[in-house]
Structure 1
Amino acid sequence: MSALCEATGADVSQVSYAVGIDTRIGPKFLNASVGFGGSCFQKDILNLVYICECNGLPEVAEYWKQVIKINDYQKNRFVNRVVASMFNTVANKKVAILGFAFKKDTGDTRETPAIDVCKGLLGDKARLSIYDPQVAEDQIQRDLTMKKFDWDHPLHLQPMSPTTVKQVSNVWDAYEATKDAHAVCILTEWDEFKTLDFQRIYDNMQKPAFIFDGRNIVNPAKLREIGFIVYSIGKPLDAWLEDMPAVA
C-alpha cells in the first residue's frame, strides 16, 4: 500500500486512518514501515505454508508465501530508493543506520528488516555507521554475517563476507553515526529519534543531505525546512526525488 501511495501522491497515514475507522479492523498494525520482523510472524506464516502444502492445498500455500515475498519486496524497495535517490550509487558513501532492532524498546534482532537493508547497501559498497540503543555490536556483526535462507532458491544461501563487514562501524551515539554521513536511514521507531537535534545533524552531514525514514517517525516538512531531502515510507515524495529514476 505504501508503494501505491508513493506512486499516486497519496499519504499512507491517511489511508491507514481511514481503514482503521472500521471497528472490525481497527488502527493497530496498519502503520507502514520498511518491513515486519520478529521471531513469530514469519515463522508462523511459514508454518501455515507447510500445513497447507501437507494437506494438498498448494494454491493456499502459495497465497501465504506471497506475504513473505511482499515483505522482502518492501525491504528491497527501500534499498532501491536509497540508491536511486543518491545518484544511483552509494559506493564509498557513509550511510547512518539509526535503529537495528525489529521494533523499539527491545534488543531483539530476529528477522529485523535492518539486516536486509544493511546487506543491500553493503552490496553497493556503502560504508555503514550503525547506532541502536539496545543492540550490541557483536550481535549486529553476527546478523550481518549470518547465512540467509532464500525461499525461491532453497539451496542458495547468502553469506556476508568478513571483508564486507569491515565497511560497518558500530557507534553508541546518533550524532556520531550521522557525522559526515551522506544519508540517514531510520529503521527502528525508537522514541529518541523523534527528538534528535536535526539541525545539528544536518550541519555535520555531507551535502546534499538525505533522510530515508523507514518508520514514519519524523516530520518531513520540518526536515525539508532545515535543508534535508526526505523520503518517508508511503508519503508524497520531494519534487527532487520525483525526478529521479523510478523505483519498483
Structure 2
Amino acid sequence: MKNKLIKNICCIGAGYVGGPTMSVIALNCPNLRVDVVDIDKEKIEAWNTNDLSKLPVFEPGLEKLIKKCRGINLFFSNNVEENIAKADIIFISVNTPTKKKGIGAGFASDLKWIESSARQIAKFAKGHTIVVEKSTLPVKTAETIKVILNSSDQNPSGNNGNKNKTFSIVSNPEFLAEGSAINDLQYPDRVLIGGEDDNSIKLVKDIYMKWVDQSKIITTNLWSSELSKLVANAFLAQRISSINSISAICESTGANISEVAKAIGTDKRIGSEFLNPGPGFGGSCFKKDILNLVYLCNYYGLKEVADYWEKVVSINLWQQNRISSLVIINLFGTLSDKKLAIFGFSFKANTNDTRESPSINISKNLLKEGAKLNFYDPKVNKKQILSEFNTESNVSICNSAIKAAEGADAVLVLTEWKEFKALDWKNIFQVMRKPAWIFDARIILDKSLLEDIGFKVWSLGSS
C-alpha cells in the first residue's frame, strides 16, 4: 500500500460535480485513466455525444476539456462493475438530496445513493482501494461507508476473508461555484483532504499537486473535512440572505441596495463577495446543506444554533414570496388571464442547473394567482423547465426573449444572463401589452433607460 502506484481513477456519478471534476483531473494528469460511471444511460450518452453543445452539464470551458481528453484518458460509461474493479481510487460523486419522508424528513440528507455506491464498491473492488467522498455529506457519513465496505455480506472476500481486499476512506469535498466550475477547479482557493491514514491522504494529495500549489492543499481529519463543506455553504448562503433582507429595507427607506452593498463590501473585514442581492440562492447545495446542519444541531441538542441557521433558509423563501407579491400588487392586485414573461430559469447565469432555482418558486406562486407564463432561458431546455411543474397548462416555453414577451403584461428577470442586458428593449416594449412592466430581480438592467422607453420598472432594492 505504501508504494502504491495510482493508475486508474473511477468516479461514480456523472453529474454537475463528477463530470467537470474528472475532466480537470484528466487534463492535468495525462498518466492516469479516469472513468466516470453512472447508471443513467441517457446521461452517459449525452456525455459521449459528438455535439458538445448538448453535454448534460453546461459550464464555460468544459466543452474544450471534453474535446481534448475524452477517449484519450477520460471515459464515460455505464460499466460500473468493471471500472470499480480496476480502480485504485474511487470518487463518490452522487446526489444527496434532502429526505422527503421518514426520520429527519425536510432536513436530513437522503444517503441512499451513497449507500448504494458503497455496496457496489464493497462487492466489486479488488485489492486496496481508496474511497473518496466527493459528494456533500453529513458529518460522520464516513463511518457509514466504512461499515458497509467492511461488512461480511457485501464484501465476502474482504476483511473477514481475503485480507488483500481493504479500503481507506478520504473526504475531499468540492467547493465549486456553478458557472465558474472549470476555473475553480483549475485555480482553487483551497483543496481540502481529510482522512484517517497519512498515506491515503498523500496519494489523493499527489493527484492535485500536478497543478495545485501545495500551500493551497489543506489536510484534516475526516470529520473536520466533512463539516467544513457544510459550514462553507452555510456561511455563503447566510451572506446572500443577509443582503436580501436589507434590500427590503432599502425599498422602504429610499436607500439603494447596490450602493449599500458597495459601501459595506469595501470594508476588508466584510469583503464584496456574495453581496449581490437577488431573488434568493438556489442550486443543489445551499438549502440542502443548511437544513442538514440544522438537523445535526438538533440531533446534538443545539436548538439555538439550529434555529439560527434555519432562519437563513426562511429568509431566502421569504424573499421569493415577497417578489411574487410585489408583482401581483403592481399588476392591479390580480394575475387572472395575464401573461408574464419569465427571463431566466437556471438558478444562476452560466449554468443549466435549475435545482432550487428561485424562478421555480416564484413561477409557482404566479401560476397559483392565475397567470400565464412564457419562459425563456438561453441554456435550459423545454423538458427541464416543464419537469418542475405538475401541468403544462398556462406554461409555454419560448426560444427567444422577444417571443416570450409577446402580449405579456410584464417581464420578470430572474437569472442574470448577460444577454438580457443587451436585448432590444424598445422592440420588446412594442410587442407587450400596456402598461408594460419590468421586474428586475437581478438589478442588471438600466432602469432609467427602460423608463425612458416607456416601461414601468421595479428594480430590487431601490424605491
TM-score normalised per structure 2: 0.47
Aligned to 1:240: none
Aligned to 1:112: 357
Farther off after superposition, 2-11 or 20-29 = 20-29
- State the superposition RMSD in angstroms: 0.7
Confirm or deny that 1:130 pairs with 2:375: yes
For 1:50-199, list aligned pairs within 5 A: 50-145=295-390, 162=391, 165-199=392-426
Mapped partners of 1:116, 1:9: distance in 2: 28
Per-residue Cα deviation, 1:184-234 (whole angstroms, up to 9, x for no partner): 000000000000010100111100000001100001111001110000110
Mapped partners of 2:285, 2:453: distance in 1: 40
Q: Which runs of 5+ in 2 are unaligned?
A: 1-245
Choose 1 or 2 for highest CA Rg. Answer: 2
Aligned to 2:151: none
Mapped partners of 2:277, 2:389: distance in 1: 24
Confirm or deny that 1:218 pairs with 2:445: yes
Shift of 1:24: 2.0
Mapped partners of 1:92, 1:70: distance in 2: 30
Mapped partners of 1:18, 1:207: distance in 2: 37
Select which of 26, 32, 43 maps to 2:288.
43
Mapped partners of 1:65, 1:92: distance in 2: 37
Mapped partners of 1:91, 1:183: distance in 2: 13
Aligned to 1:20: 265
Per-residue Cα deviation, 1:72-129 (whole angstroms, up to 9, x for no partner): 1000000000000000011110100000000001100000000001000000010000
Aligned to 2:427: 200
Aligned to 1:152: none
Partner of 1:143, secondary structure, is: coil
1:106 maps to amino acid: T
Mapped partners of 1:220, 1:106: distance in 2: 26
Mapped partners of 1:233, 1:129: distance in 2: 21
Partner of 2:379, secondary structure, is: coil
Partner of 1:144, secondary structure, is: coil
Confirm or deny that 1:31 pairs with 2:276: yes
Partner of 1:97, secondary structure, is: strand
Q: Which runs of 5+ in 1 are unaligned?
A: 146-161, 237-248
Partner of 2:375, secondary structure, is: strand
Partner of 1:71, secondary structure, is: helix
> What percent identity do the matched residue pairs reach?
50
Mapped partners of 1:89, 1:195: distance in 2: 30
Mapped partners of 1:133, 1:113: distance in 2: 17
Shift of 1:235: 1.2
Shift of 1:44: 1.3
Shift of 1:10: 0.6
Mapped partners of 1:168, 1:199: distance in 2: 25
2:249 maps to amino acid: L
1:17 maps to amino acid: K
Mapped partners of 2:346, 2:270: distance in 1: 27
Runs of 4+ in 1 over 2 A off after TM superposition: none
Shift of 1:28: 1.1
Aligned to 1:156: none
Per-residue Cα deviation, 1:152-172 (whole angstroms, up to 9, x for no partner): xxxxxxxxxx2xx31000011
1:133 maps to amino acid: P
Higher relative contact order (CA 8 A, sep 6+): 1
Shift of 1:144: 2.1
